[in-house]
Structure formats: C-alpha cells, structure tokens
Amino acid sequence: MLVSGLLAGGCATLPIFVPQAARQTIDRRITEYPDGFNLKLCVTNLTGATGFCFDEIGNAIVAEGGIDGRDPRIWIFKPDGTRISVYPVETRIPIVNPGFRIYGPVGGIVESKGTIYVSHRDSHDMGVITAFTYTGEHRTIVAGLPAQGDFGVTDLAIPPASVEPRLYFGVGAATNSGVVGLDNWAEGWVRKHRQACDLAYQALDLLGFRFDVVNPESSIFAPNSLVTVPFAPLGTSDLIRIPQVEFPVQKPSGAIYSCALDGGDLKVEAWGVRDPEGLTIDTFGQIYLTDRGMELRGTRPIDNDPDALYQLNGFGGTWLGSPDYSRSLEPIYLGKYQPPSWMIIPSGYPNVRFVIDHEESKLRAPDANLLKAQFPWQSGAGKMAFIPASGPFHTPKFEGQMLVALWGDHAPFSTTGRPIPDPRPGYRIVRVDVTGHYGQVVDFIYNTNGGPASKHSEGRDEGVERPVDVKFGPDGNLYVLDFGQATFKHGHLKAENGTGKLYILEPAK
C-alpha cells in the first residue's frame, strides 16, 4: 500500500509515445512550417522538458528539467515506442531509498558512445555535470560550478568526430546585470545563499558605483536600506576592486567552459556572457552560442537588450562584455537601453552606465565580428542545430544554416509588469544564415496566430507553446522539443503538467 501510494501521488504525468501510424499532420491553420514537409507529434504529456538528444541508433533521450521543485527525469524513447527511465531508475522510490539524487533545472543533455551527459544542480544549488549509463549508473564529470543565482549550468555540446573530443558547456550569470537586488530576493536564492553573486574570470577594477535598495529585512535592529556594489553579495558596499577567481578552484559565472570527456583539464573558452542557453560546435570546431539579453528588472534594469548568437574566435578567455555591453555588443549607456527613470532613480543614479573600469581592468570592447545574429528583445533564444549537409533538409536555401529555438518571454517578472507588445517575440523556431558577417533570421516553425498555442482557442494541444530545443535525428528528420505551458510568479517559473511535446518535421509523402 505504501509503494502504491508513493507511485500514485508521486509526480506527475508520464510521457506518451505516439506510434508512427497514429501521428497526424498538424494543420497549417494552427502552425506554419516549410512546404514539402509535415509536422507531427511523436511524444506528448511531457512536463517541463528542457533538452534532448539522439544516440547513433536513433533513440531519443529527453530530459524533464525538474522545474519548480520537481524531480528531474531522463527518458529514453526507442524507435519502437519503448520507454526507459535512466533517472530515476524505474525501481527507485525516493522516500524509501533516497540514494543518488540530482536537482533541477536540467540545462542540457548530450550523448556520446553510450554515455549520457546531463547538467544540473546539487542539493546546495551548485552546478554539476553527471555522466549516466543507459542503466542509470553515474559518475561526476564536473562539480562546484557557480549556479546558485538566476541561471545555472546550461547547454552541453560535444564536437563532431573530426574535432578533439571535449565536453563544452555554459554557466549563466548570478544576476540580471551584475548587481544583486530585490528581484533576486523575490526569487529566493539570496535568502538561501547570502554570499552568492557574479564571479568574474579576472581581477576587475570598478568605477565606484554603489546601488541603493530597500532592506527586505529592515527592523529596529537593521537599517531601512542597503548599499551594494557590482560583483558582490547583497549589502556589500566597500569593494572597489574584485579579485581574480582562483581558477579552477573557484570558477567564474557567466562563462563558456570545456573539459575532457571524463572530467579534468577544465578551460574557460569565454566569459562575460549572461544566460548562454544554447551551444553547438560545427565540423571545424567553431563554437556557437546563444545568449539572452538583460531584462527590465532589479537594481540595474536594462531595456530593449536583444538576444544574440555568437561564434567564438578560438582564443580562450574571450570577453563578451556583460554586464557593460548589450548582447548586440553595444555600450549599455546608449539611450535605447535606458530604463524608465522611475526604475533607476531609487538606486541613486539617473541612468545606466558602465560599472567596470575597462582601462584599469585591461578589458577591450568585445569584438563585434563575434556577433552572428540577434533576436528581438525577450525572444528567449535557446538551443540550436546546424542543418545537415545531407538528407531531406539539404537544399540550396538551407545550405550551411542553423535552426534556433526561441522560447519566448519571462513576463511579467522580466519586465517589472510592463506588458510585452504584440506580436510577442519568440514562441517559434527560426532559421539563421550564419554564412555571412551578420545573419538573416527567418521564421521556420511558428503558430499562424503568433504567440503560444495556449493563448488561442484552436489548436491548443497541437500548436507550438515554448520551443526549447531542436535537433536532427539519425533518420535525417528534424525534431523539436517543446517545454509546454509556463507561468511566472514572483520570479518563479511554473511548468504545467503534461503540456510538453516532441515534434517531428519530416518530408511529405
């Protein structure tokens, strides 16, 4: 009876594999996609799906990310519809035998030669990458990554066989724009981790800005306000120089890393990123990443900061400018990035400016040539994949191009309540031409009426909600993972049970 109760009240709904014969083509009145192809559902009933990959024999490996306190789950779907749980192992009952446990959110997942690599948090909210076998055995690849703030460990990538086999991954920043504030207090992590803040890769000299905020714990024994400097915990006001991290003992946040496939030999490929949700590597070993722009919230709110796609130059330790440059690599003091005055004046300053002394810190402006494409403010740029050089998608108009999942906005939290204007950005797959200096962005899969499917009366269960990942399978077809319905309250992301999906886009017969 105890076992039955645990299984029944446990979690959530279980995913459902849709057999090939039962898959229905989604009507273009609901969702638009390229001509000559059919879009169909192949897995439904996922909850908070955050990433997926394929192995060489065509098994789809899907992560339910463990959003809003849920337990993450790692599923294998075989082409015949068989479903296997890699994590937790099917017979595991958490309350009876806790055993090994990972914590969400799962940021990325990739498979190589029978090993499944997963990025996640531990019980102290530090970032970890764990390697799983198909039977659920596990070992730690990297641990102690700074993931206690806004963003954790993000996407994972392993280069094609022609390139040195290493594991690449992203770690997000702790804050929106370099300063711990009341937005982070609302999210809850400041209360749990008092010393958490952004960590730079090198020593930084600051320009002396000290930001005022209301003290959320004011009392007769505590002051009514706090003063905080960038790259320091909430209430730290006496720093003018941020010491260099003792890498690799202490690791920077807001960075792209690589390591050996079995762990060790940790390197920083780039830093000064904010939320590098997507990561992929081409056949020449060039690293591409998406990075989400700063938001209109917190002590140092930023307006109109777009999301971006970068190609790294191959030099380790490249600085990409955050939090002093927009994701389009422009100075953040430009007028278009300034928040409404009522949002910034309470911090003690009339506008947003640089916080780092670049000259004393020996930092050069980020190279504008690294920017390959940009996406509208609040697009939610996520994971991506290159269109293959063979198979049904190998056509001249797709040659050398990339598909990127745009998850959508985080309003009202990301805009301090300001409505997102229509048409809402994101909620689609886009095609990006990365062959030129600056990529053209074209819609590829999107709802005919725009926005997420849940906002429309027709096609709520079929249309695109929040695309989070996109991959090409060994069969040459395109697969799109949809997170499902999501809401935000006081900075907390809530995933709606059973609304996530996995689509297939295949040639029309």
Q: Distance from CA of residue 104 to its chain's centroid?
A: 12
Mean pLDDT, 10 residues at a time, over the chain (509 residues)? 35 87 96 97 97 96 94 96 90 53 96 97 97 95 97 96 88 98 95 96 96 92 92 94 85 96 95 98 93 97 98 88 98 98 95 98 96 96 95 89 96 93 93 83 96 90 96 97 92 92 95
Burial environment of residue 9 by CB neighbours within 10 A (0 to 12, 13 to 18, 19 or more):
exposed
Cα–Cα dist 148/191, whole Å? 11
At 344, list the tokens.
């910034």
- Domain range annotation of the chain: 1-44+375-509
Write down the pLDDT at residue 9: 36
Write down the pLDDT at residue 95: 43
* Helix, strand and coil in the chain, % to nearest 5: 10, 35, 55
At 100, list the tokens.
């090994």
Nearest Cα neighbor of 323 from 311, 312, 315, 331 is 331
Which amino acid, one-letter code, is at 36? G
End-to-end CA, the chain: 50
pTM of the model: 0.94
At 220, list the tokens.
């007769």
Burial 396-419 (b: 16+ CB within 10 A, else e): eebeebbbbbbbbbbbebbbbeee
Residues 6+ apart with CB under 8 A from 436: none
Tallying the residues shown for the chain, one arrives at 509
Name the phi and psi angles at 4, rounded to 5: -60, -40
Nearest Cα neighbor of 479 from 376, 368, 392, 373 is 392
Write down the pLDDT at residue 244: 81
β-sheet with 37-46: strand ranges across:
16-17, 37-46, 500-507, 478-482, 467-472
